Amino acid sequence: MPATAVLGMQWGDEGKGKITHLLAADAQLVVRHNGGANAGHSIVHEGTRYGTHLLPAGAFYRGTRCVLAAGMVIDLAVLAEEARQVGEALGWEPPVLLAENAHLVLPYHRIIEGLEGSADRLGTTRRGIGPAYRDKASRIGVRVADLRSEELLVERLYIGLTAARSSFPEAQELAALSAETMASGLLSLARPYLGSIVDAGLEIEKALTRGEHVLFEGGQGALLDIDFGTYPYVTSSSTTLAGLAAATGIPTSVVEHRIGVAKAYVTRVGAGPFPTEIDDEERANAVRERGQEFGVTTGRPRRCGWLDLPALRHAARLNRPTQLAITKLDVLSGEEELFVCTDYELDGRRIGRFPLDAAELARCRPVYESLPGWDEPLSAVTSAEALPRSARAVIAAMEDAAAAPAAIISLGPAPQETLRMGF
Ligand code: IMP
């Protein structure tokens, strides 16, 4: 029963898209288990670049089935458009199974996100993610299973819409919505999927029993986790290994390989404390440009920072990676001097931990070690031994912090720009 999970070890945008795409080539079932269209995966498949939000990386391989599991909030309009675009480019419609207990992102969720100002306050992606998860927790959400009956769907939408209007009684956009119109819109978007609504946990279990390779594809990263991230500057789902289990009903003990994906530096989009943020604008811009650090979902420039080992240690505790996939090492080529944060200092004392309290984290000062940089491009390097000495030192520091060996080192966006060490 080989099951592999790909989990983000930073603030999302670690390059999970490329890694899941590589690993999905050997998988029969690929499962997205958290988040929704807030995620943005950048994938190069057979020379063409795709930006996907909901379709798992398995969608690019004929015969690989994809599952959107219960921990997700699914925007059917985004899914339909993405499936159409990718399907057109590939020449077949990727088969996607929807978990009957996954929740739907509804038109009023995006409106509420706009009205409550979380995009300005927290830097959310305006995809209705927070309000959709809030309705789930309040038990007024609409689930995929509700698409089976128009009558039930209208009833559930009515409950959700009434709650939305009661929070924002003045909002014209909410007043203009009707449960009936939303239901018919959703049903027309859902038509291609109505025969593919399943108990996803059971499907995964059956695949594992048949000895198929199941690949779990995490959205976002450990530091955006609703509980263990930098709250409130986090997303609304559980982005860690534990979240995978909660979202699928598949225990973590089944997940034999846990690939922690981490960049050789760090980025984050949106607001929130970011101890190793590069404050020299010119330098930050250079990293951003070389790494093309602009959001796939929002196009926003990402904040860039030096490698943060306390944060990586924290993520490793949460995800227990068996292997690391280190990405974007090539982006550091051209830096005269590199910095690696080994600890934080708070009120003049080294603390040896990653504070969960965002206010405390904001007061932390990074303790840096510096390394000489290198000039040569890395994309054509074919073995880890041939990497510059400082690049090897960065890898070793990450392996030590995560207590896991690097099994994949990514040196560029294309699949061939990758070193694979026994995985
Ligand atoms: P939300 O998920 O749209 O509610 O946004 C909450 C926070 O998570 C914001 O700071 C977003 O920028 C961030 N976020 C959500 N999804 C991703 C992602 O896939 N990559 C990076 N950041 C993300």
pLDDT digits (tens, 9 = 90+) for 170-210: 999 999 999 999 999 999 999 999 999 999 999 999 999 99
Six-digit token string for 244: 């995978």
3-class DSSP state of 225: coil
- Give the model's pLDDT for residue 166: 97
pLDDT surpasses 90 at 299: no
Give 155 Cα–ligand 1 centroid separation in angstroms: 31
Six-digit token string for 316: 């490793």
Top-confidence residue, 58 or 260: 260
- Give the model's pLDDT for residue 10: 98
Atom of ligand 1 nearest to the CA of 39: 19
**Contact present, 289 and 227 (Cβ < 8 Å):** no
Return the best residue to mutate from 11, 38, 237, 327 for the ligand 1 pocket (most ligand atoms within 8 A of CB). Answer: 38
For the whole model, what pTM was predicted? 0.96
Atom of ligand 1 nearest to the CA of 40: 19
Give the 3-state DSSP-derived string for 45-103, with helices as H, strands as E and coil as C: ECCEEEEECCCCHHHHCCCCEEEECCCEEECHHHHHHHHHHHHHHHCCCCCEEEECCCE
- Give the model's pLDDT for residue 295: 87
Atom of ligand 1 nearest to the CA of 130: 4
Region of poorest pLDDT, from 14-23, 37-46, 253-262: 37-46
Give pLDDT tens digits for 391-406: 999 999 999 999 999 9
**Contact present, 197 and 98 (Cβ < 8 Å):** yes
pLDDT surpasses 90 at 340: yes
pLDDT band at 422 (very low <50, low <70, confident <90, very high): confident
Measured in residues, the chain has a length of: 423
Q: How many alpha carbons fall within 13 Å on the CB side of residue 414?
A: 8
- Give the model's pLDDT for residue 40: 87
pLDDT band at 1 (very low <50, low <70, confident <90, very high): low
pLDDT band at 373 (very low <50, low <70, confident <90, very high): very high
DSSP tag of 379: T
Atom of ligand 1 nearest to the CA of 124: 5
- How far apart CA 73 and CA 65 sit, in angstroms, is 19
- How far apart CA 334 and CA 89 sit, in angstroms, is 36
Give 123 Cα–ligand 1 centroid separation in angstroms: 7
Considering just the CA atoms, what is the radius of gyration of the chain in Å?
A: 21
- How far the first Cα of the chain sits from its last, in Å, is 17
Give 260 Cα–ligand 1 centroid separation in angstroms: 18
Rounded average pLDDT over 337-361 = 97
Rounded average pLDDT over 94-107 = 96
- How far apart CA 8 and CA 220 sit, in angstroms, is 6
Give 302 Cα–ligand 1 centroid separation in angstroms: 11
User: Could you tell me the residue ranges of all domains in the chain?
Assistant: 4-102+196-257, 103-191, 262-420
> Residue 205 region, left (φ>0) first, then alpha (ψ -120 to 50), else beta?
alpha
Give 136 Cα–ligand 1 centroid separation in angstroms: 18
Mean pLDDT of the chain: 96
Top-confidence residue, 94 or 106: 106
- Give the model's pLDDT for residue 42: 84
Pick the CATH number of 262-420 from 3.40.50.300, 3.90.170.10, 3.40.50.2300, 1.10.1660.10: 3.90.170.10
Ligand 1: residues with CB < 6 A are 11-13, 38-40, 122-125, 127, 129-130, 219-220, 224, 233, 235-236, 269-270
Identify the residue whose C-alpha is closest to ligand 1 atom 9. 124
169 cis-preceded (ω within 30 degrees of 0): no
The string of DSSP letters for 321-336 reads -SEEEEE-GGGGTT-S
CATH topology of domain 103-191: Adenylosuccinate Synthetase, subunit A; domain 2 (1.10.300)
Write out the catalytic residue numbers: 13, 41
3-class DSSP state of 304: strand
Q: How many alpha carbons fall within 13 Å on the CB side of residue 128?
A: 23
Give 380 Cα–ligand 1 centroid separation in angstroms: 32
Secondary structure E strands in 171-265: 197-198, 214-217, 257-263
- How far apart CA 199 and CA 211 sit, in angstroms, is 19
**Cα 255 from chain centroid?**
18
Please state, as a whole number, how many other Cβ atoms lie within 10 Å of the Cβ of residue 155.
14
| Domain 4-102+196-257, classified CATH 3.40.440.10, yes or no | yes
Atom of ligand 1 nearest to the CA of 272: 10
Identify the residue whose C-alpha is closest to ligand 1 atom 2. 235
